[in-house]
Structure 1
């Protein structure tokens, strides 16, 4: 069972080899004219009404997860499209990989998401560095960007979580390395 977003951003439920879309209080099969329904009791989802469409297709579920992961990674990180697609394809079975979208189609999806969501491209100068709010906190919503002086010529950014600072505080010695050619 998984909850994902479709390519249009609506919620989808993946359950027992079928895909469902939200329809008020129930989840309906995504296939047209299928009577398949699922309901939630608060803790879990259960099939409520039998499907009249074809048997469950695990490859279709894998492809839906593949597409969801590509869209999610495209919006969250600056990894190259090739790396995002490669990592997502590693999780596919050989049967699902055969029918999954070609590389060029997946690459266009990534480019479109990054263009539409105004995800900044790779910066060329210090002034170009824009750190979106979702990258300024950890997954547990703790502050991660501790300091930003916003100086165009000598930008200084400090990233660390509270746990990382506590760990450094407990260490007897620190060993550092840096790019001295850039520190004028």
Structure 2
């Protein structure tokens, strides 16, 4: 009797949830004693059963041709603990339709833990959407994913809607810091919605920006073959660790010894991260020094990069199958 109940429970969960097969099978057989477990199907047989059920489910749920046609089954709007997971659907009449997922508990964690990481990934986004945008909180020095948003674009107006809805759902949210990549639209909106928040750029992404510029200016060979060129590029990135008030002086000293071949990179860095010298003052850079400088973060024990978030996205890519609805 227990064996039949276990198999029936497994089949139901295969049809109604998105649990991974291993988690689903183990959960369905939990509590079965050793004597009864002998009569259960093997793990491989159970896994094939789960896969067949889910293949039939996908056939019966054809992919929508537009965002207006998306209809998330009620069973997929809740967690395995039967908690509401769909926080917001902007509606079928919205051409820029947005879905926000999370739980009330997640919002409470986001309120309590006020150092946030945000990032978007394109590799696991379902059809009709450009990215899965996630909001994480730093809990006991671990980045925990809490809010998941399906977005069709990267427009600033879209991010405004996301963070305003977040505030509508939990008006007491008040982050101290928000770490992101160097996407200006995200940083602008975070500052606009959460007054006083410290916006921080990811050091890893800063290095990527520098490397892309090196590639764009066809300086890869010089970087690889000329030790002096390579050292000056590394010193540019190392400005991130200089005390904020000393960065401009350090940059000016660095430029005095730079080889002429990298003048274009120096110009890019000055315009984007330092501020071009204009008579007696410097113009505002695209990304102010306090955004990309990590000196204080090191002393405060805060992360310098979003690598934990990137790692989570990487795991999501390899642990899930990209499909429609």
Shared fold by TM > 0.5? no
* Structure (1 or 2) with the greater helix fraction: 2
* Structure (1 or 2) with the greater strand fraction: 1
Alignment TM-score, normalising by the size of structure 1: 0.43
- Structure of higher RCO (CA pairs closer than 8 Å, 6+ residues apart): 2
Please identify the structure whose Cα radius of gyration is greater: 2
